[in-house]
């Protein structure tokens, strides 16, 4: 008889099942794939349980391929399909061992399919996203609210004891309902923000997670530090360079967390942090390359800076996020660039010689 799984292994099994479903989704992102590879490398147990979950998922693909079964209806009618054991035995002889094995296999497959479809539906219900240029406000079950910015993906994973949200891509403003006994955790790729009752913005870039506090206090810990805390260092390994202590931020402070570093700064213009909620972009001496990258987040028309000599030029001003042409006209009138060259959904900015 196989030994029962311990609590850690059960958690890995749950994670593995979630990864199988997530990676099979058509909108899986590059960041999610990178996160999966990182999770897979943490332990041979992760590899083993993922392969098992993948096999189970593959087996489920052949169950009811024509989608003729109504899982919800089957579950609802389960009570009416139960018959007394004595009546069943008296009515007919028990099926052969081969027949029983086939019936048990079919029942198990249908049960697995039903559970898998129900679990998948729940996961999709807890997954939220916005298109380019779109914003969306979510009201969570605990009374907290989330405002998703453009091109963002968020997954909610609340339990009775924990409030956790995963920002997979993009940016979001969190206004957290106070509950000291049930901290609110927002997990990004490189950092986790923990709050009791406050307001903050998390921005997920390709290689950085940025947390900016609007109100109250937030504790930020690197996901690298979290992994190092959970797993003991191998014998003879050099001490980790990154601090395992959380960084505490007050209103007006920002933490920029990369794989091996955390930098804390004071926000020079707090209004610029949430200006996107009103459709504005505020620049106060940022490099032109960053301003162009910001506009490109909100628009299908992409600005392309030809050459690298203008990327460091500083720019200040207030612009509509959905009007990249306004920035182009500003640069043209300032004598910084030649008239923009339009090519399909690209506007090429060429420095004036």
Residues 6+ apart with CB under 8 A from 309: 351
Nearest alpha carbon to residue 255 among 244, 272, 267, 245:
267
Domain boundaries, the chain: 7-125, 133-231+244-270, 279-349
Tokens 């479903």 belong to: 21
- Please give the pLDDT value at position 244: 64
φ, ψ (nearest 5 deg) of residue 350: -110, 125
Residues 6+ apart with CB under 8 A from 10: none
Give, in order, the Cα–Cα distances in Å from 269 to each of 9, 192, 253, 326: 47, 24, 11, 22
- Please give the pLDDT value at position 34: 84
**Can you tell me the distance from the alpha carbon of 341 to that of 75, in angstroms, rounded to the nearest whole number?**
61
**Can you tell me the distance from the alpha carbon of 73 to that of 313, in angstroms, rounded to the nearest whole number?**
63
Tokens of 58: 């593959």
The shares of helix, strand and coil residues in the chain, as percent rounded to the nearest 5, are 35, 30, 35
Tell me the pairing of strands 163-175 and 184-187.
parallel
CA 309-311-317 angle, to 5 degrees, is 130
- CATH node for 279-349: 3.55.50.30
Q: E-strand spans in 20-162?
A: 127-129, 136-139, 145-148, 153-156
- Please give the pLDDT value at position 49: 82
Tokens 């009791």 belong to: 196
Q: How many CA atoms lie within 13 A of 70 on its CB side?
A: 6
- Please give the pLDDT value at position 50: 80
- Please give the pLDDT value at position 126: 80
Query: Are the C-beta atoms of residues 347 and 305 closer than 8 Å to each other?
Result: no
Please state whether the predicted TM-score (pTM) of the whole model is above 0.75: no
CATH 2.60.120.1440 is the classification of domain 133-231+244-270: yes
* pLDDT tens for the chain, residues 1 to 353: 444 455 566 678 878 878 887 887 767 788 888 888 888 888 888 888 888 777 766 655 554 555 454 544 544 454 444 444 444 334 444 445 444 444 444 444 445 545 444 444 444 458 899 999 999 999 999 999 999 999 999 999 898 888 999 999 999 999 999 998 899 999 999 999 999 889 999 999 989 999 999 999 999 999 987 766 554 444 443 434 445 689 999 999 999 999 889 999 999 899 999 999 999 999 999 999 999 999 999 999 999 999 878 899 999 999 999 999 999 999 999 999 999 999 889 999 999 87
């Amino acid at each position: 008889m196989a030994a029962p799984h311990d609590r850690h292994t059960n958690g890995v099994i749950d994670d593995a099942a979630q990864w199988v479903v997530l990676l099979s989704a058509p909108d899986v992102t590059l960041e999610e794939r990178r996160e999966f590879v990182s999770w897979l490398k943490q332990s041979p147990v992760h590899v083993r349980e993922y392969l098992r979950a993948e096999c189970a998922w593959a087996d489920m693909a052949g169950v009811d391929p024509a989608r003729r079964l109504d899982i919800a209806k089957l579950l609802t009618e389960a009570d009416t399909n139960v018959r007394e054991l004595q009546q069943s035995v008296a009515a007919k002889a028990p099926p052969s061992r081969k027949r029983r094995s086939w019936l048990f296999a079919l029942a198990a497959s249908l049960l697995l399919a039903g559970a898998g479809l129900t679990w998948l539906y729940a996961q999709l219900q807890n997954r939220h996203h916005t298109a380019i240029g779109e914003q969306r406000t979510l009201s969570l079950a605990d009374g907290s609210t989330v405002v998703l910015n453009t091109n963002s993906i968020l997954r909610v994973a609340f339990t009775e004891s924990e409030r956790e949200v995963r920002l997979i891509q993009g940016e979001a403003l969190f206004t957290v309902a106070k509950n000291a006994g049930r901290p609110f955790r927002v997990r990004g790729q490189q950092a986790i923000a923990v709050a009791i009752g406050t307001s903050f913005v998390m921005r997920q870039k390709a290689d950085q997670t940025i947390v900016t506090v609007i109100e109250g206090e937030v504790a930020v810990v690197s996901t690298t530090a979290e992994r190092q805390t959970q797993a003991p260092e191998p014998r003879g390994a050099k001490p980790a360079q990154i601090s395992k202590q959380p960084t505490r931020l007050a209103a007006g402070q920002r933490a920029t967390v990369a794989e091996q570093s955390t930098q804390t700064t004071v926000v020079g213009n707090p209004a610029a942090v949430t200006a996107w909620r009103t459709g504005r972009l505020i620049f106060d001496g940022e490099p032109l390359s960053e301003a162009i990258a910001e506009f490109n987040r909100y628009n299908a028309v992409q600005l392309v800076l030809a050459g690298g000599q203008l990327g460091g030029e500083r720019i200040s001003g207030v612009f509509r996020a959905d009007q990249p042409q306004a920035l182009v006209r500003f640069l043209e009138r300032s004598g910084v660039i030649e008239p923009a060259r339009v090519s399909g959904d690209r506007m090429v900015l060429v420095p004036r010689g």
